[in-house]
Amino acid sequence: MITTELGRGETIAVASGNPDVNAGTSGAKTQLPGEAATVSVAAAATGGLSAGNFIESDVDSELFKFNNEDAPLMNLMLCAKRVKVSSPEVDHYMIDEPGASFVTVEACGGQDRLQANLLLKESDDVLPRPHTTLLVKGVDGYDERGNRTPGKSLMLFVTGKDSSTNFPVVRAVNGPRKNVGDDCCQVPEIPAGTTLIVLANSLYETQKEIDPDLIVPSPTRIYLQKRGMNQVVSDYFESQKKRIPFSKSIIAEQAIANFKVRGNRTLWAGRGGKFKLAVDKMGLQYVYTTEGVRWQIKREMQAPSEWTVNQVIALAKMFFTGEDVPRSAILLAGKNLLEAIQKVDYSKHPEIQITTKVNSIGWTVTNFHTVFGDIEIKREPTLDRLGWSNSGALLGENRLVHYVYAAEHTFSDRVEGEEATRSGVLIWDALALKGSCHIWIDGEGEVPAPGANRWILWESREAPGETEVYDGARFYLVEDCPAISPLAKAGQMWEAKVADGTVDWSMVSGEIKAFV
């Protein structure tokens, strides 16, 4: 049986010899996989005509034309950096720029102390290395005479770590002094929730040795999936090609189109795995399945019920101003998400440019220009077929890696004991993400992927209601929200802690990172 895709999801069967036919994507009973293309089987598919009485009908050749926009994610993969590997198992490093800031979890300093322990999260304890300088946001420094200098932040110097608690030990560079001319400054009180910005290290006069930067990336195991496509065409069937409305080339084209579309679904939603399979005459062999991009993305945003210009700009800001800054952005969107963004009223924002252009890949895209960067918006039909019509992925085009274990190749063999030819395509590869810039926009209300950091765009001066707030919910403020806190300003992220029916709000400092 040969199946041909017509447009987006519609299919026809050009070979069928079994009454138990499977439904296609449109619901029509037109699918019967696994059949060889013989004259007898093809005759049954055309209404039961006998083998020598095919009727040649007029077929619109455009219906058979391969649509290269049906699998955008796969096309992005084919344009990405190609890395040849020597194993179907790859240790992939999603490396981005090191963190630029830390946040204190308890107050520290004060009480005329010459040095103090920085009370940080356990995961941050080892990151401020000795001889590093730290800028303390929101805490004023002092001049040489010991007078406070409003607006000029305090700076700390890391002297080492506490042997009993492992907390970093710091002294102040420009703190208060008991007496004018004292060499040592005191460490003023640093409140809980204070952001510390990591600056360069500072060495003493004769020093040349310094602790190495703590860059020990943690790999993710990526499995490369072997995908194949076969066709079986009998010699007699091929000899009749002038009398039937399809030829070997059309059969091959449509088989490859179907192969590509199904592979594109795997690139989105496949789950990584490795297991053994008993094979006749070959014993146990491993089967690998690759992890889809949907589950690799570690930053997730809950799509608003109605998009506004400010929300689209906020999305661009989060994408282009994080710790990992990509060169370009492309939004692959389901049909409902695409419609919601297109319906935004831009008439009050003449400074925003929205144009249609042909991008570097050859797609016609909607280009949304902001001061932070351009977002190219493209419909991804595969998301609709996966049930993610309200969702999409904002990807950094230069942050994709195409791992290849065995390059794509074709083959053509005679079928043993039959007058037929088997031909096909084999490829063994995987798509992986670099950096943490990528954002999944969830419009279906699904549970976040494991290890992902999810937030909600909030565009109101009123605090979120009971339906939006849950313990650990994070809200990115598109405008000032005094109902959350007098300090809650646009561009900040605030987290809700719910206990015994009460909600406590705290600001999440630093950039919106990939991991919680």
Cβ neighbours, 10 Å, residue 140: 15
Flag the least confident range among 121-130, 212-221, 466-475.
212-221
What mean pLDDT is predicted for residues 386-408? 88
Q: What are 176-199's pLDDT values in tens digits?
A: 888 877 788 889 998 888 888 888
Predicted local confidence at residue 441, as pLDDT: 94
Paired tokens of 128:
């401020």
Predicted local confidence at residue 383, as pLDDT: 94
How far, in Å, are 25, 167, 514 from residue 199 at the CA level? 56, 18, 22
Residues 170/135, Cβ–Cβ less than 8 Å: no
Give the angle subtended at the CA of 266 by the CAs of 264 and 272, to the nearest 5°. Answer: 150
Q: Higher confidence at residue 273 or residue 58?
A: 273
Asked if residue 243 has pLDDT above 70, the reply is no
Predicted local confidence at residue 2, as pLDDT: 36
Predicted local confidence at residue 18, as pLDDT: 43
Flag the least confident range among 156-160, 335-339, 392-396, 414-418.
414-418
Cβ neighbours, 10 Å, residue 206: 5
Predicted local confidence at residue 447, as pLDDT: 83
Kindly state the helix (H) or strand (E) to which residue 212 belongs, with its residue range.
none
CA–CA separation, 220 and 92 (whole Å) = 5
Asked if residue 265 has pLDDT above 60, the reply is yes
CA–CA separation, 166 and 169 (whole Å) = 9
Q: Is the pTM of this model over 0.95?
A: no
Q: What are 44-64's pLDDT values in tens digits?
A: 555 544 444 544 444 344 333
3-state percent helix, strand, coil for the chain, nearest multiple of 5: 15, 35, 50
Asked if residue 416 has pLDDT above 80, the reply is no
Flag the least confident range among 52-56, 424-428, 475-479.
52-56
Average pLDDT, the chain: 78
CA 94 centroid distance within chain: 11
What mean pLDDT is predicted for residues 359-379? 85
Kindly state the helix (H) or strand (E) to which residue 77 belongs, with its residue range.
helix 72-79
Predicted local confidence at residue 216, as pLDDT: 56
Cβ neighbours, 10 Å, residue 211: 10
pLDDT category of residue 40 using cuts at 50, 70 and 90: low
What mean pLDDT is predicted for residues 268-276? 91
CA–CA separation, 464 and 196 (whole Å) = 29
Asked if residue 402 has pLDDT above 60, the reply is yes
pLDDT category of residue 349 using cuts at 50, 70 and 90: confident
**For residues 261, 267, 272 and 274, what is the CA-based torsion angle, rounded to 10 degrees?**
50
CB half-sphere exposure, 415, CA atoms < 13 A: 15
Please name which of 141, 100, 96 lies closest in space to residue 510, comparing C-alpha atoms: 100
Flag the least confident range among 41-55, 231-245, 355-369, 470-484.
41-55
Predicted local confidence at residue 384, as pLDDT: 93
Looking at mean pLDDT, say which of 36-45, 116-125, 335-344 comes out highest.
Answer: 335-344
Asked if residue 390 has pLDDT above 90, the reply is yes
pLDDT category of residue 8 using cuts at 50, 70 and 90: very low
Predicted local confidence at residue 392, as pLDDT: 95
Q: Higher confidence at residue 99 or residue 197?
A: 197
Flag the least confident range among 234-238, 241-245, 329-333.
241-245
Predicted local confidence at residue 16, as pLDDT: 36
Kindly state the helix (H) or strand (E) to which residue 268 belongs, with its residue range.
helix 248-269
Asked if residue 217 has pLDDT above 70, the reply is no
Q: What percent of the chain has pLDDT over 70?
A: 77
Predicted local confidence at residue 97, as pLDDT: 56
CA–CA separation, 374 and 357 (whole Å) = 12
Predicted local confidence at residue 138, as pLDDT: 85
Q: What are 298-346's pLDDT values in tens digits?
A: 889 988 888 888 888 888 888 888 767 788 889 999 999 999 988 888 7
Predicted local confidence at residue 44, as pLDDT: 56
Cβ neighbours, 10 Å, residue 410: 11
Predicted local confidence at residue 196, as pLDDT: 86
What number of residues does the chain have? 516
Q: Higher confidence at residue 29 or residue 363?
A: 363
Predicted local confidence at residue 178, as pLDDT: 82
Predicted local confidence at residue 293, as pLDDT: 93
Paired tokens of 354:
């929205």
CA–CA separation, 264 and 335 (whole Å) = 17
Looking at mean pLDDT, say which of 122-126, 280-284, 437-441 comes out highest.
Answer: 437-441
Nearby residues of 322 by Cβ (< 8 Å), 6 or more positions away: 436, 437, 511, 512, 513
pLDDT category of residue 247 using cuts at 50, 70 and 90: low
pLDDT category of residue 391 using cuts at 50, 70 and 90: very high
Helix (H, G, I), strand (E, B) or coil at 421: strand
Cβ neighbours, 10 Å, residue 193: 15
